[in-house]
């Protein structure tokens, strides 16, 4: 299934969501597209960011979510998984997964965790990324990915913000998922892309909450993807805008 969708008529997003508030956000005719967990700082409480499209409206089967699943529990739901986000708990380093779940299973869809960049690249031979996440575990940069059979996605594990557009244009691909993370060299972008022509797009990173909607509206575009990352005492957002 391609991640490239027609532009929605309506969309909205929210952040600083507590786990017991997720269910109260859905409005009639709107469908959850992604649920991303984050912590402002290492010791801060986990929060969520979410965005919604009128993707099929009332005719679309509702999506549910699974929060705080370990790898085994998350893997058991892989055929229904539409998005994945990862939280590494500060006290014990345990990895916990948040999934958005489709109503019906998608045969052949699988979830892979604790991947290195080379391992994820190798996994995409004949497979497409449905969604992915990046996190640090035991000092290493790791990736989790939901994949399914299909034309292989293109994966860029570490692009500087200023290099992203030229790198993707050189491959003639459209970014569909972007995850920003901070490194000693500054912000880096892990990007999943698909071959596409004729779609205008922009990648945003290191955006504060006040400017998320403004960045999309500035291009008269809609969010294809949205992610949140804690950095120091704040939280920064990254996303893909398309038109």
pLDDT at 225: 97
pLDDT for residue 44: 86
User: pLDDT 10s per residue in the chain (243 long)?
Assistant: 456 667 898 999 999 999 999 999 988 889 999 999 999 887 789 999 999 999 766 677 889 999 999 999 999 999 999 999 999 998 899 999 999 999 999 999 999 999 999 999 999 999 999 999 999 999 999 999 999 999 989 999 999 999 999 999 999 999 999 999 988 888 999 999 999 877 899 999 999 999 999 999 999 999 999 999 998 768 999 999 998
Q: In sequence order, what are the beta bridge partners of 194?
A: 174
**Tokens (6 digits) for 81:** 């998984």
> What residue spans of the chain are helical by DSSP H?
71-76, 117-123, 164-171, 212-218
Q: What is the pLDDT of residue 26?
A: 86
What is the Cα–Cα distance from 40 to 61, expressed in whole angstroms?
33
Q: What does the pLDDT read at residue 148?
A: 97
Residues 168 and 165: their CA atoms lie apart, in Å, by 5
């Amino acid at each position: 299934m391609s991640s490239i969708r027609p532009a929605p008529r309506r969309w909205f997003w929210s952040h600083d969501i507590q786990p017991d508030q997720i269910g109260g956000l859905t409005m009639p005719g709107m469908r959850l597209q992604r649920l991303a967990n984050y912590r402002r700082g290492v010791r801060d409480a986990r929060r969520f960011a979410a965005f919604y499209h009128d993707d099929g409206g009332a005719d679309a089967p509702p999506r549910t979510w699974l929060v705080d699943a370990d790898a085994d529990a998350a893997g058991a739901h892989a055929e229904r998984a539409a998005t994945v986000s990862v939280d590494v708990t500060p006290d014990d380093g345990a990895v916990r997964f948040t999934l958005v779940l489709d109503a019906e299973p998608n045969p052949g869809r699988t979830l892979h965790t604790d991947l290195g960049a080379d391992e994820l690249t190798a996994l995409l031979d004949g497979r497409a990324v449905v969604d992915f996440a990046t996190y640090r575990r035991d000092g290493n940069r790791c990736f989790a990915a939901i994949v399914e059979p299909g034309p292989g996605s293109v994966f860029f594990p570490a692009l500087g913000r200023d290099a992203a557009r030229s790198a993707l244009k050189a491959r003639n691909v459209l970014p569909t998922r972007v995850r920003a993370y901070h490194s000693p060299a500054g912000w880096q972008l892990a990007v999943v892309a698909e071959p596409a022509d004729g779609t205008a797009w922009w990648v945003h990173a290191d955006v504060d909450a006040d400017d998320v909607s403004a960045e999309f509206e500035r291009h008269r575009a809609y969010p294809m993807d949205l992610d949140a990352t804690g950095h120091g005492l704040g939280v920064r957002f990254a996303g893909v805008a398309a038109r």
